[in-house]
Amino acid sequence: MTRSRALLVLVIVLLSAIMAATSPYLIAHTKIGLEFRGGYELTFTADPLAPASAVTPEALTKTAEILSERANATGVSEPQVNILGQNQIRLILAGVSQGDPVLAALRDPAGLPVKLTQTYSETVGGVLGASDLAATLRAAGLAAAILLVFLVLVYRLPGLLAGFGLAVFVWTLLVAFNLLGAILSLSAIVAYVLGIGIAAGTSIIQYERIRDELGSAVGLQQALREAGRRSLRTVLDANATVFICAAILLVVGIGPIRGFALTTMLGVALSLMVNVFLARWLLQLAYGDSDNPDAIFGRPILARRSGDGARFRFDFIRWGRPIAVAAVIFITVGLVVAVRGPLNYDIEFKSGTALDIQIDKPITQSDATDLMFSAGVAPATVAIGGAGNNMIAARFDDVLTTADVDSIIGRYKETYGENVTFAENTADPAVARHLAVQSAEVILLALAGTFLFILLRFGWRYAVASLATVFTSVLFVMACFALFYQEIDITFIAALLTVIGYSLNEAVVVFDRIRENFAEAPPGGSPRTIVNRSVGQVLRRSLFTVFTVIAGAVCLYQYGAEPLQMFALAIGLGLACGSVASLFIAPNLLLLLQPMATSLADVGTVAESPILRQGRSS
């Protein structure tokens, strides 16, 4: 064994020992979200006591301190009190259920410097939360296993090193959660799973670049150095779009999914540290003593038909136009359906109460509905789900009182025994309107932020072409949900932002190669040929990177907690569409943004195009 290989083994053993020794402590001290412990969440809106005055930050902070003291005085374990925006306070109370005396104490206006109005409440049953946690962790484990097998099959030993990097990434993310005191909510675990896909995608971008350099008949050491230099720019640009979307979501502050935003931001940052710098160093240790280009990878999957892909036989530009037409037709049909009939909004967007009940026996929709009517409460909709048809999702147009919920749960316990758990979620009309406006603001800000980033990094033509990928993927998801009447809740907004970030991630990978090839092309080259060649060169890379994230989304949809199914479905649909759009539609638009005389030229000598000039100057 060479010295570098011995050092590689030593580093892996030491890091593995550190992770094994510290992980039990980290897991035990990670703050678990309300979904997994059971409890009560409520949000208050603060108004001034005097009509002509305003709510000051000092008054809001003082109110939050009083509410925290009241919760502690009644024996609530570690109550979480957070100020949201300029006039809202959110409380998360573990182990508290509807009707608990602590809720009456918190609603007492005596001694408060502001007037509080309860605008949101949610009850989560502990058994239901434990079931959600177990299902989501199983889905995460399956996704990680699939990615590990995939990386090893495609890249052999480098794939195994990338898999070790994924383990280090998960551990560092757990360390970050403990240092920041962040809460591991259901949405945060989703970001964990998708973050594993980001980390794997980062390794794929680097490894595929090494393949490209080896295809240029250079030695292994030169290929590693050149691939490291060229791939770093692509990795940074691609991950920046995801980071921007998550940062906007966190700053705007949509409470229920801020954990997703924070975890995504941490995941992007830690992925760059672990899977760029650590993984690259481990790869150098593994192959630092060899200059044989055949030593690192086996035969590639989806191999190109000719050397460096200079004359890739598939015409992406030609097929991009019918694909764009098909996408426009499908999206138009979906939008027409959405305009003519109301979308299937969850109560966060239209006010009312959502009541999710879990029993230990199968139940039919008619029996579930009859029990609610017998309790004196009429539901707007009732749906049955779960692997054993034992989960009831009921939606009520009106806000239910505590007595209403108790009456419904009482009827279920009379019929099915005491093993009945439930989660109740209530939002009033003002909160629903505010959330709808906030959601629109988040999406618009994400579009503006990512557009500005690509404008600065690539130029206006690339920025405009990137919008084709974003709008196609986002509108495709919305059309699917409208056509098949899928439920749209608050996690749908996080899913759309994820789709925006990852779609641009895919587009950046394509654009970076197009820009590079334009910059290196001789004057008079054909833009269409260069774009086609560029897309062919990154085809395998794009398909592999999007697979790493879609694999996680599919596992969450199939095996994760039921509340995450629509979230995972939206991400899976959006990423699949975004990948197609980045390969076929965006390159077409990029060509159309230059004069027709050059954008359609396939052979012959043409004047240097604006894209080519922009590529040289970037």
Residue 163: pLDDT band (50, 70, 90) is: very high
pLDDT digits (tens, 9 = 90+) for 469-508: 999 999 999 999 999 988 888 788 888 888 998 899 889 9
CATH number for region 3-33+136-287? 1.20.1640.10
Q: What is the pLDDT of residue 169?
A: 94
CATH number for region 39-121? 3.30.70.3400
**Does pLDDT of 103 surpass 80?**
yes
CB-based burial label for 384 (10 Å; 0-12, 13-18, 19+)? middle
Task: Count Cα neighbours of 550 within 13 Å in the Cβ-side half-sphere.
Answer: 16
**Does pLDDT of 588 surpass 70?**
yes
**Does pLDDT of 583 surpass 90?**
yes
pTM: 0.79
Location of structure tokens 């991400």: 571
**Does pLDDT of 65 surpass 50?**
yes
Location of structure tokens 């890739």: 312
Higher-confidence residue: 306 or 168? 168
User: Which range, 163-172, 216-225, 271-280, 589-598, is most confident?
Assistant: 163-172
352-427 architecture in CATH?
Answer: 2-Layer Sandwich (3.30)
CATH number for region 316-344+431-617? 1.20.1640.10
Least confident of 89-98, 354-363, 491-500: 89-98
- 502's tokens: 């990852």
* Dihedral (CA of 520, 524, 525, 526) sign: positive
Residue 611: pLDDT band (50, 70, 90) is: very low
pLDDT digits (tens, 9 = 90+) for 448-462: 999 999 999 888 899
Residue 244: pLDDT band (50, 70, 90) is: very high
Residue 20: pLDDT band (50, 70, 90) is: very high
Share of the chain above pLDDT 70, in %: 89
pLDDT digits (tens, 9 = 90+) for 536-560: 999 988 899 889 989 989 998 988 8
Least confident of 57-61, 72-76, 273-277: 72-76
Please state, in angstroms and rounded to a whole number, the distance separating the CA atoms of residues 508 and 91. 41
**Does pLDDT of 354 surpass 90?**
no
Got the DSSP string for 426-470? EE-HHHHHHHHHHHHHHHHHHHHHHHHHHHHHH-HHHHHHHHHHH
- 29's tokens: 């001290």
CATH 3.30.70.3400, the chain: domain bounds: 39-121
**Does pLDDT of 423 surpass 50?**
yes
**Average of per-residue pLDDT across 205-229:** 84
Neighbours of 56 (CB within 10 A): 13
Please state, in angstroms and rounded to a whole number, the distance separating the CA atoms of residues 488 and 12. 44
**Does pLDDT of 52 surpass 50?**
yes
Least confident of 42-56, 154-168, 306-320, 602-616: 602-616
Please state, in angstroms and rounded to a whole number, the distance separating the CA atoms of residues 396 and 398. 5
CATH 1.20.1640.10, the chain: domain bounds: 3-33+136-287, 316-344+431-617
Category of 524 on φ-ψ map: left (φ > 0), alpha (ψ -120 to 50) or beta: left
- Which secondary-structure segment (H or E) carries 137? helix 126-155
Residue 1: pLDDT band (50, 70, 90) is: low
**Average of per-residue pLDDT across 146-172:** 93
**Does pLDDT of 351 surpass 50?**
yes
Cα distance between the two ends of the chain: 45
Please state, in angstroms and rounded to a whole number, the distance separating the CA atoms of residues 610 and 599. 10
| Closest residue by Cα to residue 191 from 131, 252, 128, 270 | 270
Neighbours of 15 (CB within 10 A): 16
Q: What is the pLDDT of residue 74?
A: 75
Give CB contacts under 8 A, 24+ apart, made by 323-328: 323/580, 323/584, 323/585, 324/472, 324/584, 324/585, 324/588, 327/472, 327/476, 327/577, 327/581, 327/585
**Does pLDDT of 8 surpass 90?**
yes
Q: What is the pLDDT of residue 480?
A: 94
Q: What is the pLDDT of residue 296?
A: 82
